[in-house]
């Protein structure tokens, strides 16, 4: 199985990586020369299993966040900058072996298709916290504190991104969630009476937006 990699870095580093990935085998590289012209993930002809963004040539954290918001469920590796939406961050200098190890570890939680992948540590922690609330709404700020703790690089968008990815894995139709429901200012797990009802179908939910 060939894994498709979307890469934004300098031409010189891209050429170097292309040579080394070719030696390893099993990877197909696609250069992202213009981050503003990035493909929209999810279309079969534009699918990618992972992305590698170099902060030396682009706003890697912003690009990673943009991909997550667009629904990208693949692995993301960022070079040289902290990025909450990334699966791994590599500091310079790094070896190709470091990048390959980080990439392969991340791909284990983002197999092709993404929907049937096992939950990541953060996704499992979110689901566990919501389940322990027994149907009560947990505010976004409280979920952030319980799952991530308080930190300067953790934002509401980080939580929303993980909720989006969690729904892609556990919901039949992520656009009409039936398990992880959005409430004003937070999220909750649907109780037994709501099974079979989507967030749009439930009268109680019509007061609130179903989306993140």
Q: How far apart are CA 11 and CA 72, in angstroms?
A: 24
Which residues make up the CATH 1.10.10.10 domain(s) of the chain?
Answer: 121-207
At 127 the pLDDT is 87
At 47 the pLDDT is 67
Instruction: Sheet containing 75-79: give its strands across.
Output: 27-31, 3-8, 50-54, 75-79, 88-90
Place domain 3-107 in its CATH homologous superfamily. Response regulator (3.40.50.2300)
- Per-residue pLDDT of 28-62, as tens digits, reads 999 876 544 344 443 333 468 899 999 999 899 98
At 115 the pLDDT is 55
Q: How far apart are CA 13 and CA 125, in angstroms?
A: 37
Q: How far apart are CA 65 and CA 56, in angstroms?
A: 17
Q: What is the pTM assigned to this prediction?
A: 0.54
Which residues make up the CATH 3.40.50.2300 domain(s) of the chain?
Answer: 3-107
At 56 the pLDDT is 92
Per-residue H/E/C for the chain: CCEEEEEECCHHHHHHHHHHHHHHCCEEEEECCCHHHCCCCCCHHHCCCEEEEECCCCCHHHHHHHHHHCCCCCEEEEECCCCCCCCEEECCCCCHHHHHHHHHHHHCCCCCCCCCCCCCHHHHHHHHHHHHCCCCCEEHHHHHHHHCCCCCCCCHHHHHHHHHHHHHHHCCCCCCCCCEEEECCEEEECCHHHCCCCCCCCHHHHHCCCCC
Q: Which segments of the chain have a pLDDT < 70? A: 33-47, 71, 110-118, 150-153, 191-212
At 108 the pLDDT is 78
At 71 the pLDDT is 67
- Using alpha carbons, select from 70, 85, 87, 94 the residue that is nearest to residue 9: 94
**What class is the 121-207 domain?**
mainly alpha
- Using alpha carbons, select from 129, 71, 63, 72 the residue that is nearest to residue 106: 72
At 45 the pLDDT is 34
């Amino acid at each position: 199985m060939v894994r498709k990699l979307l890469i934004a870095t300098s031409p010189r580093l891209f050429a170097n990586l292309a040579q080394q990935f070719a030696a390893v085998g099993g990877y197909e590289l696609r250069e992202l020369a213009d981050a503003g012209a990035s493909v929209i993930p999810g279309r079969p002809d534009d699918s990618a299993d992972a992305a590698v963004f170099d902060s030396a040539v682009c706003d890697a954290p912003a690009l990673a966040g943009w991909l997550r918001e667009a629904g990208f469920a693949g692995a993301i590796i960022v070079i040289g900058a902290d990025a909450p939406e990334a699966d791994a961050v590599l500091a310079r200098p790094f070896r190709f072996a470091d990048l390959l190890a980080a990439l392969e570890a991340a791909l284990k939680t983002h197999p092709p298709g993404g929907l049937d992948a096992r939950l990541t540590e953060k996704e499992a922690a979110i689901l566990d916290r919501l389940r322990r609330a027994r149907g009560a709404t947990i505010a976004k700020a409280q979920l952030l504190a319980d799952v991530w703790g308080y930190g300067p690089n953790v934002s509401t968008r980080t939580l929303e991104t993980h909720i989006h990815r969690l729904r892609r894995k556990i919901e039949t139709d992520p656009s009409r969630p039936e398990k992880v429901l959005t409430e004003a200012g937070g999220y909750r797990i649907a109780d037994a009476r709501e099974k079979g009802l989507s967030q749009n179908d439930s009268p109680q939910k019509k007061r609130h937006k179903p989306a993140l």
